[in-house]
Structure 1
Amino acid sequence: MLDERAKTLLKALVERYIADGQPVGSRTLSRASGLELSPATIRNVMADLEDLGLIASPHTSAGRVPTARGYRLFVDTMLTARPVGESPAELEQAREQIQPDQPQRVIAHAAQILSNLSQFVGVVTAPKKASVFHHIEFMRLGERRVLVILVSPDGDVQNRVIFTAQDHTPVQLVEATNYVNAHYAGLTLEAVRERLQHEVEQLRGEIAQLMQVAVQVSSEAQAETSEQLVVSGERNLLTVQDFGNDLGSLRRLFELFEQKTQLMRLLDTSSRAEGVRIYIGGESQVVPFEELSIVSAPYEVDGQIVGTLGVIGPTRMAYDRMIQIVDITSRLVTHALSQK
C-alpha cells in the first residue's frame, strides 16, 4: 500500500516516537528520515498515513504518533534486530542464572531475567504436566448423577459431579471403576483417548460412556489447575512515562496481573506457534488494553512445546530489543529444562 518514501517516513516516525515519547512533527521527521523533502511534502505524506490509520494526531500537538495499526506494520516489515545488552555482561548474567535446575527455579529466574533486561514485566507459564491418573472411582449420587473421583500419582484428589444420559446402578459403577483402573491407570489422558478410539466398540456401552465423560472432566480439571504463571516486575510499569498520572490505566494494569488466568489466555495464543510473536494492544481482542503490548515465545522440553514466556510493557517499547530478549531467554529455558 505504501511507496518507499512513505515507508521511510513511517519507520522514522515510529522509531523517533519510541525513543522520545513525544509526537513527531514534520520538521523533526525531515531530519530523522534523512530524506531531502520539503516540509509541505512531508505534511502531505503524513496526512496520507493518517488517512490509512497508521498514525494519529493528538489534540494537544501538531505532531503525529503511531497507531496500533502503524506499530503492526512497523514490527512486521521494518524492524532490524539489535544486540540484547548494552554490554556482554548482561547476556552472561542471563546464562549464569538460567542453568539446569528444578523447573520452578528455572522459570522463576527466567521471569526475573525478562523483567531485568526489559525493565518491564516478565511472565513465564510453568511447564505443563502430563495428565496421568493413578486411580479413578465412580460413585452413584442419585438418578443419572455420578461422582467422579480422580487421584493423581502424587496424591492430588479431584472430585467432579457428572450427569449421565441414563441411570447407572452401583454394581455397574463398580464394574466400570474396576475396568478403568485395571486397563488405564498410569496412562496420560491423551493415551487414554487414543485407546478409546480403538476400543470403544468393544467396551460395554455404560463403561464407554463413563470413560469418555471422565476423560473430558479430568481434562477440564487439569486445564484449571495444572498451569501456573510466574510474574516478575509488575512495579516497573509505575515508572513508564506513557501512563503518566492516569490512575485508571494503572488500576487496569494491576487488575490484569491479579487475574493471572487472563494473562495465561493471552500467552496461550503464542504457545501454538513457533518463534517470537508480538501482540499490540488495541489491534485485536488478544490484548484488551491499548496501552500494552506483549512480546512472547514458546519454550520446549525435549522438542515438545510445554510453556510460554514473554515481556509485557507499553505499546511504545523498543520491539527490536524485546524480540532479542525473549528469543534468547526462550532458548536458555529450553536448554536448561531439557538437560537430564
Structure 2
Amino acid sequence: MSLQALNDRSRQIFRQIVETYLETGEPVGSRTISRADGIHVSPATIRNVMADMEEAGLLEAPHTSAGRVPTDLGMRIFVDGLMQVGNLTTAERASLEARAEESGLTTEDLLAQATRKLSGLSHCASVVLVPKEDDGVRHIEFVPLAPDRALVIIVSENGHVENRLIDLPPGLPATALIQAGNYLNQRLAGRTLTEARAMIEEDLANHKTALDVLAADVVEKGLAVWSGADEDKASLIISGQANLIDDVTASEDLERLRRLFEDLERKRDLVRLLELARQGEGVRLYIGSETNLFSLSGSSLIVSPYMKGANNVVGVIGVIGPTRLNYARIIPMVDYTAQVISGQL
C-alpha cells in the first residue's frame, strides 16, 4: 500500500486518524473523526474507509476497542508523506545550544550533556554513539594458522596490538596474504583507520586495486574485522529512560516498556543499529517492526549523525520512545542537536 493509492478523502481521513491517535494515545473511532474540522462525511462512510485501510495494513483494531490505531506501516506512510515537520522554538534552540561552563570537558562529557538536554526536551530516552579513538595504524600483518584460518595482527600508532581471526578462501596461496598485507600497509601510512578504510572500500568497489581475486577477498575480510573491532570499542550513552514511564497508562503499555528496557540493555544490538545509521545522511527513522530490535516493544528510534570536521561523521545521536511519538516536533529537535554537537566538536 502506498500513499498514491489513497484518494484525497482517504488521505484526509487517514491523516486525521493518525494525528488524533498521536495526540490522545487512544484508538480512534469513526464518530470522533466525523466531528473533526474539514471532515464532511458520515461516520458510516468513514467506517468503510477505515475498513479498507485496515485491509491494506495501514490500520489495526486493538482487541479492547472498536476504534483503530495506525500500524507501523501506516505510521511510516504518514511520516514520509503526510506529516508537516514543525520548527523549534527560540527557547528550545537556546537550550540545545547552551554549553557547559566548566573547562576541560571531554568529548564524552559534551555528548552526555547533549543527551540529557535532548531527553529533557523530547520527554523520551536519548542515545548517543560516542566516537571511538582512531589514532591510526602503524602496521598490519596476516599470519597463516591453518589452510582456512589466519591471524590478523593490527598495531596502532600508540603501540596497542590487536589480534583477530579471519577465515580464508579455499586455495589461498601464502603469497596472497603477503600481497594483502603490503597493499594495506601502503594505504594505512599517515592515515587513521577510518580514513584508510574509506579509501580501501572505494578501491575495492571500483576495482582500482592491483590485487588478485583471492587477495582482495582477504582484504575485505580484514575490513570486516576492523568493523567488528570498532563496534566492540563503541561507547553508548543512554539518558532519560524514566521519561518513558510517564506515558504508561495500561498494562499492555507497561509490558511494551519492559520489553523496551530489555532492548536497551542489549547495547551491542543497539550499537549495530546506530552504526548503520551513521553511514547515512540526515535524520533516520526506525519505526517499530522495521527493525528486529524494536519489533516486540513497539518502539521508534529517531537519529541523526554528527560530524567532527567537514564530512567526517563520527557518531549518531537521537531518541527512543513509543511509536506514538510527536515526530513533527522531535525530528527537527534531533537534527538540530546533531548540528550543535558538530559545531562544538
TM-score computed with the length of structure 1 as normaliser? 0.79
Aligned partners of 2:262 and 2:144: how far apart in 1?
A: 41
User: Which of 98, 107, 110 is the aligned partner of 1:106?
Assistant: 110
Match of 1:89 in 2: 91
Query: How big is each residue's C-alpha offset from its partner over 1:273-326, in whole Å with a ceiling of 9 and x where there is no partner?
Result: 222222210245474235101112222222222222211100111110111111
> SS in structure 2 opposite 1:310?
strand
1:143-162 matched pairs, under 5 angstroms: 147-161=151-165
Change in 2 beyond 3 A, CA 1:167/1:319: closer
Aligned partners of 1:82 and 1:115: how far apart in 2?
A: 18
Change in 2 beyond 3 A, CA 1:273/1:228: same
Larger radius of gyration: 1
Match of 1:310 in 2: 318
Aligned residue-pair number: 329
**Cα deviation, residue 220, structure 1:** 4.3
The yes-or-no answer on 1:228 pairing with 2:235 is: yes
Aligned partners of 1:279 and 1:178: how far apart in 2?
A: 41
> SS in structure 1 opposite 2:268?
helix
Change in 2 beyond 3 A, CA 1:246/1:166: same
Residues 248 and 254 in structure 2, CA contact (< 8 A), matched pair in contact too? no
> SS in structure 1 opposite 2:36?
helix
Aligned partners of 1:144 and 1:63: how far apart in 2?
A: 59
Letter in 1 for 2:261: F
Match of 2:79 in 1: 75
> SS in structure 2 opposite 1:97?
coil
User: Which of 19, 29, 32 is the aligned partner of 2:33?
Assistant: 29
1:176-191 matched pairs, under 5 angstroms: 186-187=190-191, 188=193, 189-190=196-197
Change in 2 beyond 3 A, CA 1:286/1:275: farther
Match of 2:333 in 1: 325
Aligned partners of 1:60 and 1:144: how far apart in 2?
A: 57
Match of 1:64 in 2: 68
Letter in 2 for 1:26: S
Letter in 2 for 1:104: E
Aligned partners of 1:5 and 1:282: how far apart in 2?
A: 28
Aligned partners of 2:52 and 2:71: how far apart in 1?
A: 14
Aligned partners of 1:42 and 1:144: how far apart in 2?
A: 64
Letter in 2 for 1:13: I
TM-score computed with the length of structure 2 as normaliser? 0.78
Letter in 2 for 1:324: P
Change in 2 beyond 3 A, CA 1:138/1:279: closer
Residues 135 and 157 in structure 2, CA contact (< 8 A), matched pair in contact too? no
Residues 267 and 308 in structure 1, CA contact (< 8 A), matched pair in contact too? yes
Report the aligned-residue RMSD.
3.8
The yes-or-no answer on 1:241 pairing with 2:243 is: no
**Cα deviation, residue 251, structure 1:** 3.1
Residues 57 and 73 in structure 2, CA contact (< 8 A), matched pair in contact too? yes
Residues 12 and 33 in structure 1, CA contact (< 8 A), matched pair in contact too? no
Match of 1:53 in 2: 57
Q: Which moved more, 1:141-150 or 1:234-243?
A: 141-150
Residues 243 and 250 in structure 1, CA contact (< 8 A), matched pair in contact too? no
Query: How big is each residue's C-alpha offset from its partner over 1:142-195, in whole Å with a ceiling of 9 and x where there is no partner?
Result: 888765443322343312345766797xxxx99x99998799555434367769
Residues 104 and 126 in structure 1, CA contact (< 8 A), matched pair in contact too? yes
Letter in 1 for 2:98: E
Match of 1:289 in 2: 296
Letter in 2 for 1:224: E
Match of 2:259 in 1: 252
Aligned partners of 1:239 and 1:305: how far apart in 2?
A: 34
Letter in 2 for 1:251: R
